Structure 1
Amino acid sequence: MLLSLLLTLNTFFTAAPTPDWKTPYEKSNRTKTATYQECIDYYQRLDQAYPEIKMTEMGMTDVGKPLHTVIISTDEDFDPASIHRKGKTVLLVQNGIHPGEPEGIDATMMLARDLMQQKKLKSQLDNVVLVIIPIYNVGGALNRNSHTRTNQNGPESYGFRGNARNLDLNRDFIKEDSKNARTFATIFRTWDPEIFVDNHTSNGADYQYTMTLIPTQHNKLGGALGTLLKQQMVPALYKGMEKRKWPLVPYVNSRGESPETGIFGFMESPRYATGYTALFQTLGFVPETHMLKSFDKRVASTYDLMLEFLDYAAKHGKEVQAARQKDRAALQTQQQFVLNWAPDTTQVETIQFKGYEAKYKPSEVSGLERLYYDRKAPFTRPVKFFDTYRPTVTVTKPVAYIIPQAWAEVIERLKQNQVELKRLSKDTVLTPEVYYISDYKTGPRPYEGHYLHTEVQVQKSQQPIQYFKGDYVAYLNQVSNRFLVETLEPQGPDSYFAWNFFDSVLGQKEHFSAYVFEDLAAQYLQKDPKLKAALEAAKAKDANLAKSAREQLNFIYRNTPHFENTFMRYPVTRWLGGALPVQ
């Protein structure tokens, strides 16, 4: 009987061995990054093994595969609203937006496992919920190769920067050309995280650091959160990483060939991940490991930095939440909004920078002088750091924006980002403030599928406009205020106008035949002395106009009721006050 029992127990333990929780990265002796399927399979195993982990499909990507989130919640509450009611801090970590920069993919897989298996680490989740996007650019991850990251030291193979539509997803957060970006908006607005981390690998100069860091630009973030970020959180992260033997430095964004010329804080407009998340008062970070350091060191430093984010969220989550609530309350009454920024070079900090001497030698390719960094000549010396930005374009917010329903692509994006919208309950004529586009520049080549407009200038007027039942109204009394201003004001660098959503208003639709309009133009000059005087004054200033019969007719045409008033008129108007018939 005893022998039979022993044999039964032996069979049981042989049939059910302890699971092997090593990641593909660890199994490869830290030389390979997990494939898309290996990554998803690993998280599914964690989901099945631990009730504190839940893996969810949140929407589709352009390649036809779903975008997942992995939620780690120690009280097994996976409802975002409930989690926020409990006062827990939400940390959202995104990996693989550029799958050729895969450190976050492998580091986060190990972190998720260790949070479950190491009691000391797991305790950090008592008041924090970790939400992970395992691989954001699924199409890029499936397009695997060993060559496109030319400047990078490992791993053996990796994904491609462009997604299934060859879009750089880190330029797509506002225009949302990709399904990935539209699904991300759902994830982000649903979870409304206090802290967001988007893991990357750098390019650029050579230096001694393994990890560099881009925090949300503190002036752009502004308010209590901007102060907390600059004065408390960033210094705490630097101190923590120093203890872990991974000294940090700001992302090496220099204007010259060498970092010694000075480093500029990165100003991320809303097209970028952290520029987008800042619109909703989220502390955003882009860790950028150095491409020339070995892959294992890059993964290890990413792992440790994520521990520092968790540690800060656990210890200071309440402070972050209080600052966020203060900023969101202030946002309701804020009148002035900044649309664009420039570095203030009169405000300079000094950092001790650990670099390598930049030197020159003859190129073996061209025979001309080439730059190289001499790793046999390391140095530590002061470098200027420009991390203050000043506003260059500011706008006063309206009471509301009115968006005609004809502009469905814009409406769709507003809804995707959970903007609160109302609709006109009847056909009506209103007199809002109107913009006319008076000048703009357009890039000569496509950028991420668009010909981006810049240096936009506008002229204001007020005029009656016919609106129809169902046209949309967005009041500026909501969490989405900054998002609305920076996307709907045409002068914003990442406005929907800048991204070509309104280009059809830039084309004139009606014209005149000169031989017909000649007689009518003469009548206008006879009846309107002011128009005649204006034409003569314009001719005196412009020799080309004085020599061109067609242009003189055009001058008259533009100053008569025959000229269409919708030409160059921006369709989104600004409502400055008074009740609107909305439902």
Structure 2
Amino acid sequence: MFCFLLASFMSLASTPAPAPAWRTPFENDPAGNTTATYAECVAYYQKLAAAYPAHLHLAEAGPTDAGQPLHEVVLSADGDADPASTRRKNRRILFIQNGIHPGEPEGIDASMMLTRDLLQHKSLLKLLDKVTIVLVPVYNIDGMLNRNATTRVNQNGPAAYGFRGNARHLDLNRDYIKQESRNARSFAQLFQKWQPDVFVETHTSNGADYQYTMTLIATQHSKLAPALGSYLQGQLLPALYKSMEQKKWPMTPYVDFEGQTPESGLQAFLESPRYSTGYAALFNTIGFMPETHMLKAYAPRVHSTYDFLKTVLETVDAQAPALAAARAQAAADMAAQATFPLTWALDDSQHETVQFRGYEGKMKPSEVSVQPRLYYDRAAPFTRPVKYFNTFKATTTATRPTAYILPKAWAEVADILRRNGATLEPLTREVTIPVETYYFEDFKTTPKPFEGHYVHSQVSLRTVPETTTFHPGDLVVYLQEGAPIRYLLETLEPQATDSFFAWGFFDSVLQQKEHFSDYVFEDLAADLLRREPALRERLEKLKHDNPAFAANGRAQLEWVYLNSPYHEPGHNRYPVARWLGAGKL
């Protein structure tokens, strides 16, 4: 308790206590175990907006599945809430989002306090001279309204909190690419409007027990453009870790072990684009997920989140020119890049070493099953070096086409692309052109639904050059400078981890619509094999190499059908074409 009180005092010592009228519900609880309700949170920002209109702009930013609007809070030195004007003033944009998992509400309370302090203290307001903050007070409004005291069974407070799922029972931190929820659609429009330099989404961890209150997921540097990854690793992250240590909140990378104890080493979190920081990385935005430790009391978790957000603001302010240069170089490099990674694997041949502050993991009999169970002995703390595996290597790549062509029938996909900054140009005339077409050879599908989908992975493709006719209204997406190039590749290349194909947007092409009756097709197949000796030769080889196939008449007939002109051309054919030509259609 003494350590918590000392850390909290150090955290807030430089900021005078707020007047009673400006205390948040968290601050009004002597035990520090209360988080604001949704109504209290919105009312607090409305009160701030009314009192400080010269610096805070509050607006509705689109619908959510709960029927309540998403809110956009803009904090600036001069009240400028226009993204274009902000960029002309060469200000960095820091986007903070809270409450995606409302059972992890530290960021909601910390941001209320930090926003007030920035507005009420001139020494802090100066931090907005070079940085504009865009803040979503609560993202998963649906879940925050579903308040309870039981669903976070592993968590130490607060007394009541929201639920992880939204009104459609979706985990919004798996919805950034597919954007099924109205929340995600409104977020995407807000994100594209501001195109932030740094994105922070606040969370609480699950998992092992250890000494840290704050852990951190940063955008996986291997996935970023080299200039941006180098800046993140070499300048931004060291400054954040150093400043948090000075504020008495030592941090560690997010704790993810191969086993349940750190001896096997920490593994960096690989956030694919379904997650917030993975989505942000597609647009050269550095992302952070601060994860406070679930077993620490709620008050230190809020205060450490407050200090982390303040530290990010201070660091972005101090490093504004370097951050701007790194992003500009990343954009220039991407505009010239020809080959892009789509899937990744941990590179276990490379590691760093970090000093990890943990508790000894031990075994004792379970009172439930009498079997050995793991526990962490807080009477046995340790600090020891552990390996930190923080490098990933690309396992699948794709070359960048001049354009993708999306048939107009796929309107849902077109809507998502537009929402995320892509320009789709409809053809005004019929064109017949050479393109690359993918055919699905194989893929794996999850046996149970995940976030409402049977997700595909390990996609094997056959690439076929074809001359194809496209019609007026079909949509051309050029991958030129200024386009969201990496986003387009990672959604429209079906082998990418979180492609639209992976999430089932194109599943209808996987089902054959026409077939044959055996007794009718037998004669057609025999005639076809007589007329095409090469096809007969391939069939005989398959029979020779595979006795089971040779003994299965139905399988042979099916094979002939699939390799005949009678097989429908759209079956297993990916409908998005790759055009490699020059100029524009």
Q: TM-score, normalised by structure 2?
A: 0.95
Q: Is 1:35 aligned to 2:58, yes or no? A: no
1:19 positional shift: 7.4
Partner of 2:510: 506
Q: Deviations over 1:332-363 (max 9, x none)?
A: 11001000111111101111011101000001
In 1, the alpha carbon distance for the partners of 2:478 and 2:66 equals 36
For 1:274, which of 277, 283, 286 is the aligned residue? 277
Letter in 2 for 1:561: P
Secondary structure, in 3 states, of the residue corresponding to 1:328?
Answer: helix
**Which whole-Å deviations, capped at 9, do the CAs of 1:371-406 have from their partners, x for residues lacking one?**
000000111111110001111111111111111111
- How far the C-alpha of 1:165 sits from its partner, in A, is 0.4
**Structure 1 unaligned regions, length at least 5:** 1-17
Provide the residue aligned with 1:24 in structure 2: 25
Q: How does 1:24-63 map to 2 (within 5 A)?
A: 24-29=25-30, 30-51=32-53, 52-63=55-66
Contact 1:328 1:479 in 2 (8 A): no
Structure-2 residue corresponding to 1:4: none
What are the superposed Cα offsets for residues 182-225 of structure 1, whole Å, 9 maximum, x if unpaired? 00001100011101000000000000000000110001113211
Does the 8 Å contact 1:331/1:479 carry over to 2?
A: no
Counterpart of 1:490, as a letter, is P
Return the match for 2:227 from 215, 219, 224.
Answer: 224
Give 1:580 deviation, angstroms: 4.3
Q: Partner residue of 1:534? A: 538
Q: Is 1:85 matched up with 2:88?
A: yes
Shift of the alpha carbon at 1:542? Answer: 1.8
Q: Secondary structure of the equivalent of 1:451?
A: coil
- Measured after TM superposition, the shift of residue 167 of structure 1 is 0.3
2:299 to 293, 296, 303: 296
Q: Using a 3 Å threshold, how does the CA distance of structure 1 residues 579 and 117 change in structure 2: closer, same or farther?
A: closer
Is it true that 1:406 corresponds to 2:409 in the alignment?
yes
Equivalent-residue separation in structure 2 for 1:117 and 1:423 (angstroms): 51
The answer for the alignment partner of 1:494 in structure 2 is: 498
CA distance in 1, matches of 2:508, 2:141: 33
> How many Å apart are 1:526 and its aligned residue?
1.6
Would the aligned equivalents of 2:421 and 2:483 in 1 still touch at CA under 8 Å? no
Structure 1 moving runs of 4+ over 6 Å? none
1:303-330 deviation line (CA, Å, top 9, x unaligned):
0011111101111112111110111111
Equivalent residue of 1:20, what SS? helix
Do the aligned residues in 1 keep the contact of 2:423 with 2:483 (CA within 8 Å)? no
> Are 1:472 and 2:469 matched, yes or no?
no
Q: How does 1:412-431 map to 2 (within 5 A)?
A: 412-431=415-434
Deviation larger for 441-450 or 473-482 = 473-482
Q: Which amino acid aligns with 2:23?
A: K
Q: Which amino acid aligns with 2:405?
A: I
1:240-272: CA deviation from partner (whole Å, max 9, x where unpaired): 001000001000011101123210111100000
In 1, Cα distance between the equivalents of 2:550 and 2:269?
49
Question: Which TM-score applies when normalising by structure 1?
Answer: 0.96
Question: In the alignment, which residue of structure 1 is the partner of 2:489?
Answer: 485
Residues 309, 479 of structure 1: CA spacing in aligned structure 2 closer, same or farther, 3 A cutoff? farther
Aligned partner (choices 161, 179, 184) of residue 181 of structure 1: 184
1:344 is aligned to 2:347: yes
Any conservation in 2 of the 1:426–1:469 contact (CA below 8 Å)? yes
Q: Distance in 2 between matches of 1:435 and 1:76?
A: 50
In 2, are the aligned partners of 1:146 and 1:156 still within 8 Å (CA)? yes
Residue correspondence of structure 1 range 192-231 to structure 2 within 5 A: 192-231=195-234
- Amino acid in the other structure paired with 1:253: D
Identity of aligned residues (%): 55
Question: Contact 1:115–1:122 at 8 Å: present in 2 too?
Answer: yes
Instruction: For 2:466 and 2:453, locate their aligned partners in 1 and report how far apart those are by CA, in whole Å.
Output: 31
| 2:21 alignment partner, SS class | coil
CA distance in 1: counterparts of 2:296 and 2:167, whole angstroms: 29
Deviation at 1:579, TM superposition (A): 4.5
Structure 1 residue 498: Cα displacement: 0.1
**RMSD over aligned Cα, in angstroms?**
1.0
SS where residue 325 of structure 1 aligns? helix
Tell me by how many angstroms 1:499 deviates. 0.1
CA distance in 2, matches of 1:362, 1:60: 51
- Give the Cα–Cα distance (whole angstroms) in 1 for the partners of residues 584 and 246 of structure 2: 58
CA contact 1:96–1:102 (8 Å) conserved in 2 = yes
307, 310, 331: which is aligned to 2:310? 307
- C-alpha displacement at 1:538, in angstroms? 1.1
**Ranges in structure 2 where 5+ consecutive residues have no aligned partner:** 1-18
Query: Paired residue for 2:399, among 393, 396, 399?
Result: 396
Size of the aligned set, in residue pairs, is 564
Paired residues of 1:435 and 1:573 also in contact (CA < 8 A): yes
Quick one: which amino acid aligns to residue 572 of structure 1?
Answer: V
1:161 aligns with 2:164: yes
2:225–2:333 Cα contact (<8 Å) kept: no
Relative to structure 1, the CA distance from residue 127 to residue 568 in structure 2 (aligned partners, 3 Å threshold; closer, same or farther) is same
